[in-house]
Amino acid sequence: MAPIYRPKIRRQRSTLHGWGVFALEDINKNKRIVTYDGEKITAKESADREDRYLRRGEIWCFRLNRRWVIDANVGGNVARFINHSCAPNCYSNIIDGTIWIIAGRSVKTSEELTYNYFTDGDKEIPCRCRPGCTNKL
Ligand SMILES: C[S@@+](CC[C@H](N)C(=O)[O-])C[C@H]1O[C@@H](n2cnc3c(N)ncnc32)[C@H](O)[C@@H]1O
Ligand SMILES: [Zn+2]
């Protein structure tokens, strides 16, 4: 079977926060862009790690379901640098147990990729997705 084409993306400094991930070519709506890789851990293990990460203002753990979490701080790929936005151009979806970041609309070359993290924790990090955003991650 021919390999499936994945759009070219790259890690770059972001105005939202630290590193972000940017499109190197135009991407069609609903195109699967990249998987969110990392170590698969139990929700219990994740709770401890998330406390530790949050003390440094970092979020790496992505909840797969009630039992399992993907920790992109261990064995993660470029997807771990995708920032959050409350008005994102991508969304996440779990397909056959794999987390995918997918274009939510057509994305132009050099746009930063973002998705809504929908964090369910203590929401301590002020969101910088746009001037005046009052949400917290
Ligand atoms: C998965 S990392 C994204 C990569 C991160 N920019 C970096 O350089 O490591 C998630 C962290 O990025 C920051 N972040 C992501 N989106 C943000 C936003 N909209 N506003 C403020 N901080 C954000 C938060 O510190 C969050 O814990
Ligand atoms: Zn926001």
Q: Pick 7-34+77-92+102-118's CATH classification: 2.170.270.10, 3.50.50.100, 3.40.50.300, 3.40.50.970.
A: 2.170.270.10
Ranges in the chain annotated CATH 2.170.270.10? 7-34+77-92+102-118
Structure tokens at 6: 């994945």
CB neighbour list of residue 110: distance below 8 Å, 6 or more residues apart? 22, 23, 24
Give the ligand at the shortest distance from the Cα of 135.
Answer: 2
- Ligand 1 neighbours, Cβ below 6 Å, are 14, 16-20, 57-60, 80-81, 83-85, 125, 127-129, 137
Q: pLDDT tens-digit profile of 81-104? A: 999 999 999 999 999 999 999 999
Q: pLDDT tens-digit profile of 18-64? A: 999 999 999 999 999 999 999 999 999 999 999 999 999 899 999 99
Q: What is the pLDDT of residue 3?
A: 80
Question: Rounded to two decimals, what is the model's pTM?
Answer: 0.96
